[in-house]
Amino acid sequence: MSAAVETRAARTVHLMVPDKFIAPFVDFVLRHFDANEHRFCLLGAPRSDFGLRADQPLDWIAGEHDEPRLLQALFAAERIVIHGLWSERVLRLLYALPSLARKSHWVIWGGDLYDAQWQARTPGHEQNEALRRAVITQLGGAVGLPGDMDVAHERYGFRGERLVCFTYPSNLASSAPLAPREPGPLRILVGNSATESNCHLEVFARLTRHWQPGMEVHCPLAYGDPAYRDLVIANGRGQFGADFHAITTLMPLADYNAFLGRIDAAVLHHNRQQGLGNAVTLLSLGKKVYARPEQSHSRQLASLGVRLFTLAEFNAEPLDEATRAHNAALLREHHSEARLVQGLAALFAPRSTA
């Protein structure tokens, strides 16, 4: 347990796994809400990657010896916020204790909802899916995009409260002024991670049909499946040679945002909801973004009036200034810090006793 954590009751308990989204989220909550009302429980042994720091009030739940403390916090809480329904340990806990499930809100990340459909149908997989279905039908609520909550209802029988919120500071729009395009090569971002759902190879095939001298392909591959990452790199180098650039280490957020500022167009051709933060940042910087129109994040952005493009529309033409300004203004309105505070306040609000 972090030195900053006290064994006290908190109205909202967060159940989390270590990830790059967590440290900025904790800082944001502490900056805008009463720290005494929140307890951040991370599953696993203490670690310092992903920007997690010793000065943050993190309660590490490393093993069975920590579970009595966790259970005490969960029973005392008014609301439990589950950040990604990844852990079988959490699923089994909520299955055994449905009273905890009923006061839990699931923050849908994407992979925790969609990845199961591509997994092999082994007996173990089917058992885990049955467990997930039994738990999700009992959950008090979910947080995320409307389309994702529709899928949770259709696939798992979710019927709890629905809160539309983008939850994490990584999904905030950039406030940097729109800058004119830098001279030099046309820089194209493909995907956001080394997962097959990015559909890199399909995108590469389309790019080769429109290739022009002076184009570059940049692929963030810092996390995901190492074997798939190697496949993407081999294909990228084979098709684009020295014009292919793989990013295989996590950048500090400020450096990554500066990198996105130098991108001209992004192809986020995911076959599920993924990469929302990248899309928001790029659109708010006036970049041209290609995405599948049927995905929940694309539909949500389109509902705001954002102009997106499909992979079939790909060309080397820059985005016109009117569309750049239009998209940036919409993102800065709907993905502002004030909107995030408003959304989280709804999630953390005291439950009605009526």
Q: What is the pLDDT of residues 221-275, one digit of tens each?
A: 998 999 999 999 999 999 999 999 999 998 888 899 999 999 999 999 998 888 8
**pLDDT for residue 4 is more than 60:** no
Work out the pLDDT band at 8, boundaries 50, 70, 90.
low
pLDDT band of residue 6 (cuts 50, 70, 90) is low
pLDDT single digits (tens) 78-98: 999 999 998 999 999 999 999
* Homologous superfamily of 173-335: Glycogen Phosphorylase B; (3.40.50.2000)
Domains 12-170+339-348 and 173-335 are alike in CATH topology: yes
User: What is the average per-residue pLDDT within 103-129?
Assistant: 82
User: Is CATH 3.40.50.1370 correct for 12-170+339-348?
Assistant: no
SS3 53: coil
How much is the pLDDT for 3? 44
Q: Is the model's pLDDT at 71 over the cut of 70?
A: yes
Please provide the average confidence, as pLDDT, over all residues in the chain.
92
Q: Does position 9 have pLDDT exceeding 80, yes or no?
A: yes
Q: What is the pTM of this model?
A: 0.89
pLDDT confidence band for 354 (50 / 70 / 90): very low
Contact (Cβ atoms closer than 8 angstroms) between residue 145 and residue 114: no
Tokens of 275: 């990469």
Query: Which long-range contacts link 136-141 to residues 24+ away (Cβ below 8 Å)?
Result: 136/85, 136/106, 138/94, 138/98, 138/101, 138/102, 139/94, 139/101, 139/102, 139/104, 139/105, 139/106, 140/79, 140/101, 140/102, 140/103, 140/104, 140/105, 141/104, 141/105, 141/106
Poorest-pLDDT segment among 107-116, 233-242, 275-284: 107-116
| Span 126-171, pLDDT tens digits | 888 999 999 999 999 999 999 999 999 999 999 999 999 999 999 9
Q: How confident is the model at residue 352 (pLDDT cuts 50, 70, 90)?
A: low
Residue 270: burial class (beta carbons within 10 Å; 0-12, 13-18, 19+): buried
Residue pair 132/108 in contact (Cβ under 8 Å)? The answer is no
203-224 residue pLDDT tens: 999 999 999 999 999 999 998 9
pLDDT digits (tens, 9 = 90+) for 297-344: 899 999 999 999 999 999 988 899 999 999 999 999 999 999 999 999
What integer pLDDT is reported at residue 183 of this predicted model?
80
What is the average pLDDT across 25-36? 97
Tens digits of residue pLDDT in 166-196: 999 999 999 999 988 878 889 999 999 999 9
Cα-to-chain-centroid distance, residue 15: 16
Angstrom distance (rounded) from CA 212 to CA 208? 9
Q: Is pLDDT above 90 for 35? A: yes
Ranges of each domain in the chain: 12-170+339-348, 173-335
pLDDT at 114: 81
